[in-house]
Every structure is written in C-alpha cells, then in structure tokens.
Structure 1
Amino acid sequence: MRSKSSAMAQIIVKAVALVVLLHGVFQSVVCREVTVPAGPLYRVAGFPVSLPCAVSSYEGSRTQEFEWFLYRDDSGGRQMGVISTRDPGFPYTPFVSRVRNGEVRVERDSGDRIRLVMHRLRTEDQGKYECYTPSTDSTYQGTYSASVIVKVIPDTLQISNLRSLTGQPARGETGEETDIISIDKMLEVVPGRLYQKRYDDGEIKLEKRSVEGGQDLYVMKMRGVRPEDRGSYYCEASQWILDPDRSWQKIAQRKLDIGNLTVNELGEVTLQIGAPLVLTCEVQGLSSNINYGLLVQWLVSDNIRGREVEVSRMSPGGVVSWGDELSQGRGSLEKVSDGRYSLKLFSVQPADSGIYRCAVSVYNPDSSLDPTTAPIYSQHSQGVTVNLRTKDVSVTAAAELPRGPLLKRGSTITLICNVTVKTTGPAQAQVQWVRTPIPKPVLKKGQSPSSELSMPDPPVPVTPELIATLRHDGVAQSLSNSSEVSVDRVSVNTYRLRVHVARPEDQGLYTCRAHAWGQDPHGAWYDTGVKAESYAVTVYLYARAEDMLLIPLVVGVASALFVGILIISTVTCCFMRRLARQRAQK
C-alpha cells in the first residue's frame, strides 16, 4: 500500500514539474523582445546613419511607441534623450533643434519596426544608443530595450579630377542620370544596364592606375562617342563597410561634376521620377569692363500652381534664396562662370514638372538694391518644358461604419476606410479623415412644424473639418479639437479611425481621403498627386437610457411643483377671504 502511495506521489510531483516547465516555456514564448543591429557600427561623420529597432512578442496595440537614448562616451554613463514617437518634448537640449528641423527623426517601417535616422552624423554623436519600448503588456516580462554602440570615424573620402570636359551646355540644358560603368564594393567592374553591349564590344573601359601619394586613379574610356552620349558627366565614389551581421553598408559617398560633353539645346525634356534636373542660364551682351549687379531668378509655371512662381534666386551679392517650397532643400543654384548660372534639382518629383524660365535683372554697380530700386534692364528667357514620366497609378477609397450597438454619447465611434492603390513598384497610401456637420433642416415661410421639413435654399456652404491623418510613413496626426481620436492601419488596405468618448459635436458626415505615394529609384517617397475620396458616412449619436429617464423625471417634478403651488394658492386665497368676511361682520 505504501509503495502505491509513494508511486502516486512521484507521479504527482512529475506532473507538477511538467506543468511548471511548460509554463516557463510558454512564458519564454510570449516575452517581449526588442532588437537592434549587432555592434559596434562604424559610421562616417557628416553622413547619414540609420539604426533600426523592432519589438516582438508583445501585447496591446499593433502600433508600438519607441524612445531612443544616447550614452555618450564622455558622459560618464549619463543618459540623454534623443527622440520619442510619443512625446515631442522628449529630446534633450543638444537634439531639440536637430529634431525640430528633421535632421534627427524616426521613420516607421510598420507598427512595431522603426528606424532612427540622423541626416548628418557628428563626432559627439558617438556612444551607445538604447532603443526603449514602453510596456503595453499585462505583465512586465521580457526585454524592453536594446543597445548598440556607434563609432564615428573621420571623413577621409576625397575625390578630384585631373581633366574636365570642355563642352559648354546650352541655356536650358537638362539630363537624366544613367550609370555607365563602376567598380563595386567587391572590386568587380560592372557596366550599366544600357551600356552592357558597348562594354562587351570594348567600346567602354574602366582602368585603375596607381599615382604618387598612395592615391588611386580611375580612368573611364569611351570609344566611338554617339549623339546620345551628350550631357553632364559625374564621378561618384562610395565607401563601404562590413557590419558585424555580415551585411555591407554604404557609410560615405561623394559626387564630382566633371563637365559637359557637348552642347545640348532643349526646348522640352521628359525625365524619370528621381532623375536630376539641370538648367543653365547664360547672360550675354554685357560689358566685361563694368561690374553690373545681376539678379538671377528661376521661375516655373504649370496648371497645378496656376501662376508663375519663383523657384530660386541669386542676389547680386551671391546670396541664394528659395521661393518655391516644393524645391527648397532639394537643389542648388550656382554661378558656374561669368554670365553662367546653373539650377540643379537633385531628384525631381511630379510636382517639379512645368515650364521653367530664367529671369535676369541688371542693376547699376552702385545701386542700393532695396525693394524700391528699379533695374536698368530685365530679360526673360524662353521656357523649357519639363515633363515627368509618371507611373500609371490608381487609388480607391471606401468608408464604412461597422455594424454594432447603437452609438450613444460616451461611446467609441469606429470607422473603417478600405484603400486600394494600384501601380508598379512600391506604393503607400496617406489617409485623411474629415467631418462635415449634419445639415440642420429649416422651416420655410408659412410652413408649420408638423409639416415636412426642407433644406435651406440655397444651402449654406460648410467647410469640412480635418480630424486625423495617417501619413505614408506610418506617423499618425490627430487634429481634432473636440474628443480624443486615434487612427491606425489595421491591415494592408484597411485604415481605422476611432473617436473615443464621443460627444454630440462628434456627429456628422465622415469621409476618408486617400493620397497615393510612390518611391523613386533613390528610395525617397513622393506624392504622386493621385487621390480619391470616399462617399460620406453619417454618424448619429442616440440618447442614452439615463438621458431618456431624465425627461419624465423633469416633467414629473415640474408637474408636482405646479400642483403644489396651485393647492397652496387656492387654500391661501380662501383663508384670506374668510378672514376678511369675519372682520367685516364685527
């Protein structure tokens, strides 16, 4: 009997141990985990750095929040806030201006994957970077942060040319950048796709030579130049490094303008999205003995802008300013030589299409050049039409109110927007939610309240209110001034708007707008200009049960007060009359 009891006890102990083991395994499966690249990572000062961070096995919202900290090598282990996805006031003082101007930012790849991007790495940015994810779990378990060491090395990449092309570009010249031939990071010669046959035939060669001082000289030779070889030529050098995870990363890059092969006059040009645009303005006929003051402007007009606007200008003192927000920060305006001014847009977008003209104003050398100073001569060049080869893009948007209980004051309003973007290559959608108040019916002259109500004639125009936006990069922006709202991406094509603790002013006609975004060959995202708007969905809040009970309660109290006052008034009145008769008899 004892042996049976002992055996049974052993079985129970083993079963408990197995349950504990399985519980531990289950806990290990659902524990939160934060991952960053293995370090140390060596990056070059003055160039961009991108640090990915991902969180997995978490509970709660699919859109997780992230915070980045930096422990500088010279800080003695002190923590410094860099940027947060949830708190605009999170950055410490050294990063406030860099975050504000976008030099340091967070780009969201998905709800639980982001990247810390620093546009220009500085020497003092060296240190340990910690990615922290605030808990959304029911129990605190797993890892909530991960760190990676970043080493900032000096910029030693230099590039120069021994011989420049002598061809001069004509006014209005532009071109599309194409790879001719290169040596990749594995030191292999790789011809461009359009030049493969000419390389195989020996028409194009790339040679590496050694020169004094330990420098490397690369020489490209082209035999049998063709008409399509006209244009501006560049030499680009890149520095690569093998990270600890065995992946190659480009850490530095420089580009050198070699010159123009031949004169290429253009009245119209068509470019691929992402290609560079180069326009040259040449001023002739001025005496070289007089130092005139020249104001050079580039203007553009198209159907979108509706009028001719200034892209950029160079003052007589050489100061460059930008007037077109679409081009600011994406190009340069340079004085190439005496009388020659070059406008460059590094990567064109659909909004850059239009008719470009150069305007030159000539001032006396001793002019003060204040706004009231008139030029002695002004001239506009002929226009150069710039067209963009855009992809075939189509987008649709459909809003719906999911079935559920009647919406009441205090409920959460949930609206769904189904968006479809059809195009070639990567595409994203930017979704906006707008609300228009429900039109109030009015009575026409001579119409009784019981008769059929009609709308105002003519209707009063109402401007829709922008409620929230989910940008193409996953960043949500709430713009409502009433209730708390949130917007997220539920699935690939489904976007959701939630209005929490709804108020009467949250009623209205809700519409979702979808804007299609594409990606150029350099990886930058741009607005294709193609958009769609859904039909309006009516949201109405019904009265709550307690609100309905309040009506008879108020009516009952009012009725009771009325009856009480009536009784008291009647009794008082009768008593006063009786008292008056008694006094009269005496």
Structure 2
Amino acid sequence: PDYEVFLNVSKTPNFSDDPTELNCRIANAQDTEANIRFTVSWYYRQRLRSDDVVRAELMAIMDADWTLQLGDRSRERTQNGEIIFSKKAVDTFSFRIQWTSENDRGDYFCVISAWSRHRNNSWVKSKDVTSASVSIFWATQDYTLTVEAVKLKPFFVAGHTFEMTCKVSSKNIKTPRYSVLITAEKPLADQSNPNGTTRIISLNQDSVVRLEDWTDQTRVDGVVLEKVQENEFRYRMYQTQISDAGLYRCVVTAWSPGGGGMWREAVNGLSNPIQIDFQMSGPVFNVSVHSDNPTVYQGEVADLWCIITAEGMALEQGILSKLFYL
C-alpha cells in the first residue's frame, strides 16, 4: 500500500516534569486491503552540540499481532506508568511521557510498518515508512533561590520573645514549595556539636513541623516555626536565655513537583545571620518572694523567702551581698 506518515506534538513541555505527547498518523493510505495491518515503532535520538552522528535508540516496537516490545530506554518507566504507548484511532498511534525529564530532550520519530496476511494466516512485513523527526527541547536556566532573614523587633533582655522572618524568592522553578530549617551558631561549641551549629526546628514542604536538636525539656514549646505566606515563614523563641545567644539563620530548600505526586529537590539557599546578643552592665537575675504559710495571725512569726536566680553565671558571695543590699 501507498501511504504517508506524519508526526506531530500535541503536548509540548516547557519545564521539567511537564507532560509530552506525540501522535504518529497514517495519511493518504491507498490500495489498503482488509488483510493489511499497520503497526508503529518509536525512536529517540539525543541532540549533541557537535556534528557527531548519534544512533537512534528504540523505545518500543509493535509486532504484527500488536504486541508491544519495549526498548531498554523506556522499559522501566513504561512498567511504572511513566510512559504510555497507545492507539488513539485506526490511523493514529500515541506516545506520552507523563513527567518529562531533562534527559528526555532530543529528537523523536516514528516508523509505520504495513503487514500483509498470507493464506496460512501468517503476517509478513511489506513496507516501512519513516516520519520526519520532531524536537522536544526547552531552554534550561539555573535555579535561583534568595533567602532573607529579618529581625522583627530590636533586641531586648533575657526572658523576652525573639522573632524573625524568612522571606524567600526563586526563579526558573515550576510551582515551587519551600521547606525551612532554623539553625543557630553558638559562640562556644560543645563536644556533641563541635562545629557550633545547632538544628533547632524545621518545617517541610507539606507544612509539617519537627523539632530537630532542640532538647531543652523545660522549654519543649519554647520555639515555633510557622508559614505566614507561600514565600514567608516566621520563627519565634519564647523566654530567651543567656545560653540562646548566637547567630540564627534560615536554611531553605525549594521543591518542584515530580513524577507520581512526589516532590523533587531543586535548590538550597542560606539566609543572612540574625544575632541574639545580650548586652549587660551587670548580672541578669530574677527575684521572687515565697512563704510556706501565706495566712498568719497577729503576733505569729511569718517566714518569707527571697529567692534569687541568676542567668548564665554562678552566684558568688560578693554578688549575693550586692543583691541583698539592693
């Protein structure tokens, strides 16, 4: 039979993970008898910047009985449902990539084969017609991610609440989501954390919060990380102590949608540091009064306890004397 083959792109990807769909169509078929069957083969050829000739890779071939045989390039992804080969109509075969990757960029073409059935019911290939190739290509640009940490109010004294926001902006990432990690660099590193950096609290791309290395059992609820907007996050630390002094940063990861509803890590970014520094002209301490018996009658002895606690230092005798004098 005489016929022509045309290949067109019905879905063109503009980003990674966009779908791609190609249709291979039989046109102007003449002298086609009832005992003629058409099948398709799909091929991929990588594009190179040089003039080197690259051999085409077989993606799939259809036998005369319409059994699909997969090539090495597409076998695993087809079995996982990421690549679909189908017959849309009598004269149209389709090839679809559910989530196109950068490795899928290149040239594609199809071959339509005509098969004739003989008297013994066997099928023999009588003709091959190859389509012109089409190019699947989009310009890739480097992902960019900018993270800015902002202190919401001027700093203060121990015991107050510390607040900062993480503002995120990105480019060339399709529908990004962000995960945020708050870290602290303490002036004095301990043996368990020799580099001095502590992972405090994190929030993933699905807005699930997790305490990381925050182990202060008396302040389990002392840190909060929340999503304010799609690109803005707020960190709070309640009842700050002298030991909280250090440099605080936002570590942000941008994620883009991947295949099968999964998320793919795109790029990481680190914010500028925000410093917590307690400027003191003397000891920082708390004073409270306590009585074992708050109700007394006239003439009875009342015992009052003056309880003094100091932040970040030991109470020496000289300091105690000054405190009692105060």
**TM class by smaller structure:** 0.3 to 0.5
TM-score of the aligned structures, taking structure 1 as reference length: 0.28
Q: Answer 1 or 2: which has greater strand percent.
A: 2
- Larger helix share, 1 or 2: 1
TM-score, scaled to structure 2: 0.48
Greater relative contact order: 1 or 2 (C-alpha under 8 angstroms, separation 6 or more)? 2
